[in-house]
């Protein structure tokens, strides 16, 4: 099958399955997989439309009733733009257009930014996959849903059983909705619920979480967690799930373009890299020679002025501390593998965007690219996520589409939560009430149009970060605080929270702390932290501060 028109600024086809990141060409790629993505084609699948209404409430906060199915005429629906949503897993601001790392090569994401708007101050709602993705899809904060950990699936909560998500809202208004790869957290929804047509009309190729894996781990790390690995593997791009997801997405675009239907589509394409294990073929590592690799800036003793509670947010995790990485001599190898994995996934993004253009769909498709959260690579003495600092919360968010300015950069605070209302607005659907984000259309039309809301990130109940254009304010559940002047101190090395001259600044920022701060939802598990006013409890076990391992 003619699966994908492959364009990658700095890309060329090698053999039948690979492309090289240092040459410039455009070719067609022919690929057939045993678990054929074409078995999940959008063609021939029925379009489902559901009318879901409900009123949700917690405490004194009421979530608005869901709007009824659209009564728009077929002609009006046909005039709507298509939507392509590309999500990336664990990608921080190490993207060319964001300037997070001076050597990173992401030509395809940069090209998308050049034809749209990149939000340079965009942040996730939670520095963890499940709650972050739940917020994007529901339009609600973790503090509203109570989903903070890798469990639960939000549909198991009675008050959200019938909550209309982003794709469902577009279903209701005439769109065909299709998804492949990682959209929600990998385990959700349960597999037996994926073919019902409720969450999406079509569930396509999902993948297997990053297989294959080497016969023996490349990195012999403490704890032996199977995901904590990185290095050159496998030999070919085509062996990676993300390649197969991109192929599946290209097939969908090809099929949709050949259809005579005038029904608009919403296509989700979810990639897993650079999430660990950070594997990529050798050619992606070749982009980052070890001898010239630049390491992220790290200040020794950086956390001497941060509260003890900041350690509780990532108390016992498989991701290694900086101390272990340095002692094992693996700090540079991890940075290199992360960069290589990032360039690899950028190549997959390029394949999908090239097919969109090759099929003539790019002129009538809104494209949104985002990552669920950032990732530390030694900064603040850790690797991984689960913090309320910029490295963990700042994410790429790029929006391009018909009649929108090109090459724009908005430094206004933005949230992943804003994707839902923004797409509703751009596609001229009836306004969706009950959402906690705000449309970014004003910033898409004029990049630095003022925005009154900061970006807010939460990680477990009572722990929040408020990010404006200048400040980052953090308050933990025990009341301890951090304050950073991001204009003067972009690395967050100087905590100003104890300085009396910033008392009013903190007071103003504290007004934005979530008024709804729901405790952990029933079934919460994995990376969950609670505080009863005296004791911090990590995954059910009281924390002993004396046991802190830096």
Strand ranges inside 233-295, DSSP E: 265-274, 278-280
CA distance 355 to 361: 9
Q: What is the mean pLDDT of residues 140-144?
A: 98
370 touches 88 (CB < 8 A)? yes
Determine the pLDDT at residue 100.
Answer: 97
20, 123, 185, 275: which is the annotated catalytic residue?
185
* Mean of the per-residue pLDDT values of the chain: 87
Instruction: Tell me the per-residue pLDDT of 109-140, one tens digit each, with 9 for 90 and over.
Output: 999 999 999 999 999 999 999 999 999 999 99
State yes or no: is 427 an active-site residue.
no
- Which of 69-73, 146-150, 161-165 is least confident? 69-73
Q: What is the mean pLDDT of residues 246-274?
A: 95
Confidence of residue 226 (pLDDT cuts 50, 70, 90): confident
CA distance 460 to 312: 11
- Which of 72-76, 195-199, 259-263, 398-402 is least confident? 72-76
Q: Which strand (E) or helix (H) includes residue 242?
A: helix 241-258
Confidence of residue 198 (pLDDT cuts 50, 70, 90): confident
Span between the terminal Cα atoms of the chain, in Å: 52
CA distance 8 to 128: 30
Q: What is the mean pLDDT of residues 257-271?
A: 94
| Percent of all residues in the chain with a pLDDT value above 70, rounded to a whole number | 83
Confidence of residue 550 (pLDDT cuts 50, 70, 90): confident
CATH of 2-453, picked from 3.40.720.10, 1.25.40.80, 3.40.50.620, 2.60.40.1930, is 3.40.720.10
CA distance 550 to 416: 31
Instruction: Tell me the per-residue pLDDT of 294-330, one tens digit each, with 9 for 90 and over.
Output: 999 999 999 999 999 999 999 989 999 999 999 999 9
pLDDT exceeds 50 at position 62: no
3-state secondary structure 310-330: HHHCCCCCCCCEHHHHHHHCC
129, 250, 269, 427: which is the annotated catalytic residue?
129
| Percent of all residues in the chain with a pLDDT value above 90, rounded to a whole number | 78
Tell me the whole-structure pTM to 2 decimals. Answer: 0.87
Q: Where do the domains of the chain lie?
A: 2-453
pLDDT exceeds 50 at position 416: yes
State yes or no: is 129 an active-site residue.
yes
Confidence of residue 45 (pLDDT cuts 50, 70, 90): very low
Determine the pLDDT at residue 65.
Answer: 39
Determine the pLDDT at residue 56.
Answer: 36
Q: Looking at beta carbons, which pairs linking 49-55 to residues 24 or more positions away fall under 8 Å?
A: 49/171, 49/172, 49/174, 50/168, 50/171, 50/172, 50/198, 51/172, 52/162, 52/163, 52/164, 52/168, 52/172, 53/162, 54/162, 54/163
Q: What is the mean pLDDT of residues 282-292?
A: 98
CA-based max dimension of the chain? 67
């Amino acid at each position: 099958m003619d699966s994908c028109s492959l364009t990658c600024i700095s890309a060329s086809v090698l053999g039948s399955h690979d492309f090289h990141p240092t040459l410039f060409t455009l070719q067609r790629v022919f690929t057939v997989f045993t678990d054929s993505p074409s078995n999940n084609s959008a063609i021939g699948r029925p379009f489902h439309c559901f009318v879901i209404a409900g009123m949700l409430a917690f405490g004194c906060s009421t979530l608005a009733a869901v709007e009824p199915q659209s009564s728009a005429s077929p002609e009006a629906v046909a005039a709507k733009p298509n939507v392509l949503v590309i999500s990336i897993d664990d990608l921080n601001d190490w993207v060319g257009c964001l300037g997070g790392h001076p050597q990173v090569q992401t030509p395809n994401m940069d090209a998308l930014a050049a034809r749209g708007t990149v939000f340079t101050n965009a942040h996730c709602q939670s520095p963890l996959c499940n709650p972050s993705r739940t917020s994007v899809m529901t339009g609600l904060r973790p503090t509203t849903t109570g989903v903070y950990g890798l469990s639960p699936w939000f549909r198991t909560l009675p008050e959200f059983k019938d909550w209309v998500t982003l794709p469902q809202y577009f279903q209701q208004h005439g769109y065909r909705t299709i998804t492949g790869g990682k959209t929600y957290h990998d385990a959700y929804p349960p597999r037996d619920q994926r073919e019902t047509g409720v969450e999406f009309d079509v569930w396509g190729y999902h993948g297997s979480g990053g297989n294959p894996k080497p016969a023996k781990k490349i990195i012999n790390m403490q704890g032996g967690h199977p995901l904590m690995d990185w290095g050159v593997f496998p030999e070919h791009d085509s062996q990676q799930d993300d390649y197969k997801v991109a192929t599946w997405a290209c097939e969908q675009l090809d099929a949709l373009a050949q259809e005579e239907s005038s029904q608009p589509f919403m296509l989700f394409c979810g990639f897993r890299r650079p999430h660990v294990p950070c594997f990529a073929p050798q050619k992606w590592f070749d982009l980052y020679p070890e001898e010239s690799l630049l390491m992220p800036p790290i200040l020794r003793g950086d956390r001497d002025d941060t509260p003890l509670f900041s350690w509780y947010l990532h108390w016992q995790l498989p991701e290694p501390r900086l101390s272990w990485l340095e002692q094992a001599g693996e700090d540079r190898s991890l940075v290199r593998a992360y960069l290589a994995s990032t360039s690899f996934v950028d190549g997959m993004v390029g394949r999908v965007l090239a097919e969109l253009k090759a099929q003539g769909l790019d002129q009538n498709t809104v494209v949104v690219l985002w990552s669920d959260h950032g990732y530390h690579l030694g900064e603040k003495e850790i690797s991984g996520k689960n913090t309320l600092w910029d490295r963990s919360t700042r994410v790429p968010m790029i929006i391009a589409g018909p009649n929108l300015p090109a090459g724009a950069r908005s430094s206004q605070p933005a949230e992943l939560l804003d994707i839902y209302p923004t797409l509703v607005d751009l596609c001229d659907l009836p306004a969706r009430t009950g959402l906690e984000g705000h449309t970014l259309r004003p910033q898409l039309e004029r990049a630095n149009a003022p925005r009154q809301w900061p970006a807010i990130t939460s990680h477990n109940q009572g722990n929040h970060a408020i990010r404006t254009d200048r400040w980052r304010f953090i308050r933990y559940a025990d009341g301890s605080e951090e304050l950073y002047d991001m204009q003067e101190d972009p690395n967050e090395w100087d905590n100003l929270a104890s300085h009396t001259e910033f008392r009013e600044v903190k007071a103003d920022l504290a007004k934005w702390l979530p008024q709804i701060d729901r405790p952990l939802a029933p079934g919460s598990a994995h990376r969950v932290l609670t505080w009863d006013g005296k004791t911090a409890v990590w995954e059910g076990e009281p924390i002993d501060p004396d046991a802190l391992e830096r």
